[in-house]
Amino acid sequence: MSELKNDRYLRALLKQPVDKTPIWIMRQAGRYLPEYRQVREKAGDFMTLCTTPELACEVTLQPLRRYDLDASIIFSDILTIPDAMGLGLHFITGEGPKFHKTVRSAADVANLSVPDMEDSLGYVMDAIRLTRREIDGKVPLIGFSGSPWTLACYMVEGSSSKDFAKIKAMMFDTPAVMHDLLSVLAKSVTAYLNAQIAAGAQALMLFDTWGGALSGPNYREFSLAYMQQIISGLTKENDGRRVPVTVFTKGGGQWLSHMAEVGADALGLDWTTDLSLARYQVGDKVALQGNMDPCVLYAQPERIKTEVKEILKAYGHGSGHVFNLGHGIHPTINPEHVAVLVDAVHAESIQYHQ
């Protein structure tokens, strides 16, 4: 594999000195880019795009051709594991992900097993291997998975949900069944992420999109504990470098002190969390990623630059900050505004690393 030319992102995750704050953007390969929409149309449907390594590689690389980003993230979906478990993932335009089968009972959970990573999920590993070759050491490649709790939400509800009534009913009424489901998912995610590392992923992200729907005690029992279990089972080094792990719980800013104890190298923050307060809470335990409101990108360039300055100032001097949005970029954002963001982060952050 090619030597890494820009390791700013990996260094920041490990709180090592950097020359400027690194930036990448959640969902940076996506519908806001016209070139992505062309490939998506060529693919015919979203799942074909995800499961065809050459197409997944192409859309992964597209943002790097436009912007001076410090990391790339493999193009895939968080629901690949439930799909590999036979639940039948499909997408309906305007409605998001849905499953043909749901998991609602102890018998349903008993029918689940850890998928074969190079068989039913081999297309993800092939996409990572191909992308590592094509990226040629320009920036690190991030692998990822949904958290067990987030995957379970979709598996039990059958789609996205506003109130999570079905999964919370299972959690409160039959907690043992819920734990059995989360346990098989934790084993699957651990194997999945380790396979991504072996294929060439140089950093990892755990997306706990729906952890914020829980109360504090339930979050620790049903979400955070399983992410800790995954992190403890991950390959720590590959290619002579540490493989850093970032945990991102949307809506989880009030639990940072607990999150900082699970062994992750960094915590992702959404825009509702004060970055300076977060840094004070976690101290030197972890790096922080975030946390601009994606909707700032609808504003004019000067407003975007102002927001960048405020967020960099909130984190302050020193390493340990990866600039990102507080959630995925919206499909209707002007791509030129993203260039303003990336360039502003690099230009304005130099003063914080001298």
Does the active-site annotation cover 104?
A: no
77 classed as catalytic = yes
31 is in an annotated binding site: yes
- Give me the catalytic one of 8, 11, 40, 132: 40
Is there a catalytic annotation at residue 32?
Answer: no
Residue 40 appears among annotated catalytic residues? yes
| 327 is known to lie in a ligand binding site | yes
Q: Each residue of 268-290: b (16+ CB within 10 Å) or e? A: bbbbebebeebbebbeebbbbbb
Closest residue by Cα to residue 211 from 264, 151, 289, 263: 151
Which of 70, 77, 83, 126 is labelled catalytic? 77
CB atoms within 10 A of CB 25: 25
Locus of tokens 């090619």: 2
Is 209 marked as a binding-site residue?
A: yes
Tokens 């939400």 map to which residue? 153
From 27, 129, 242, 303, the catalytic residue: 27
Residues in the chain: 354
User: Which of these is catalytic: 9, 32, 36, 154?
Assistant: 154
Hey, which residues does 23 pair with through a beta bridge?
323
Annotated binding residue at 136? no
Q: 154 labelled as ligand-binding?
A: yes
Instruction: Spell out the residues 6+ positions from residue 50 whose beta carbon is closer than 8 angstroms to its own.
Output: 56, 75, 76, 77, 80, 123
Per DSSP, the residues of 247-258 read EEETT-GGGHHH
Is 132 catalytic? The answer is no
Ligand-binding site membership of 228 (annotated): no
Catalytic residue set? 27, 31, 40, 77, 154
Which residues are part of a known binding site? 27-31, 77, 154, 209, 327
Which residues are part of a known binding site for substrate? 27-31, 77, 154, 209, 327
